[in-house]
Structure 1
Amino acid sequence: MGRFEARTDEEAGQVRVTLAGECDLAVRDQLHTVLDAAVRTSPLVVVDLGAVEFLDSSGVHGLIVAHHEARARGGRVTVVNPTGAVASVLDITGVSELLGPPAPRRAAGE
């Protein structure tokens, strides 16, 4: 069984959830618990995937469930810093587009 770590930090106007290791079926419940608590705490949850080495369908499912829970509360979940195979999984599944940062707003006249 691979290692998994989750750290939550409350910042101004958001909660940052930093994940590390492997997000798979073995940690599905732990991932859900961490993300659910974050969504209940703040309207903006930023999930940092920079140290995630493996992400399977259970991890993707956990992110999507958190997204739906946040939306139901009027909030948002975004993912940042995915790399390598993790970034590929998010791109292939469309999750990177769904949970990517919002497009920058343009000033009037641009």
Structure 2
Amino acid sequence: MADNAGNQEAAGRGQLSVVRAEVDGIVVLGLRGEIDHQSVRALTREMPPVDPATGTGSRVVVDLSGVTFMDSSGVNALVAAHHTTRAAQGWLRLAGAHGAVLRTMQLVGLDSVTPCHPTVEEALAA
């Protein structure tokens, strides 16, 4: 996975870094740190724009394996990304969520709306 872009936002409790790569035409966003109301911009800024006419940028995997905390801001950003990609006949897949982040996703039902996979490799192959 080649690093195409990187971004870091200061967060109230920590930081969030986003590394954007492309694998076989699929955008992969690798996240590390905490997603809260102050850092969520780093995630939303790196989401690929979607052209509903062509579907460009409509296949996205978000690697959450390096995320240690996520509040409702992160959940809302992922739900919005899910809706945007679906509108372009594409998809959003989540990978590597664990611990408190996985529990948050389960509590709000995000894991039942957006496919969640144990690894990026499995998300890419699904």
- The answer, yes or no, to whether TM exceeds 0.5 is yes
TM-score band w.r.t. shorter chain: 0.7 to 0.9
Q: Which runs of 5+ in 2 are unaligned?
A: 1-11, 118-126
CA shift, 1:30, in A, is 2.2
CA shift, 1:83, in A, is 0.5
Query: Tell me, what secondary structure is at the counterpart of 2:20?
Result: strand
CA shift, 1:39, in A, is 4.8
TM-score when normalising by structure 1:
0.83
More relative contact order, 1 or 2 (CA 8 Å, 6+ apart): 1
Aligned pair partner of 1:67 in 75, 79, 82: 82
Q: Which runs of 5+ in 1 are unaligned?
A: 103-110
In the other structure, the counterpart of 1:29 is 41
Higher Cα Rg, which structure: 1
Q: Is residue 35–residue 73 contact of structure 2 (8 Å, CA) maintained in 1?
A: yes
* Sequence identity (%): 34
Matches within 5 A, 1:13-92: 13-35=25-47, 37=48, 39=50, 41-92=56-107
Query: Tell me, what secondary structure is at the counterpart of 1:30?
Result: helix
In the other structure, the counterpart of 2:21 is 9
Q: Distance in 1 between matches of 2:49 and 2:23?
A: 12
Equivalences, count: 101
Name whichever structure is richer in helix by fraction.
1
1:25-81: CA deviation from partner (whole Å, max 9, x where unpaired): 00122221112x265653310000000000000000000011111111111101011
TM-score when normalising by structure 2:
0.73
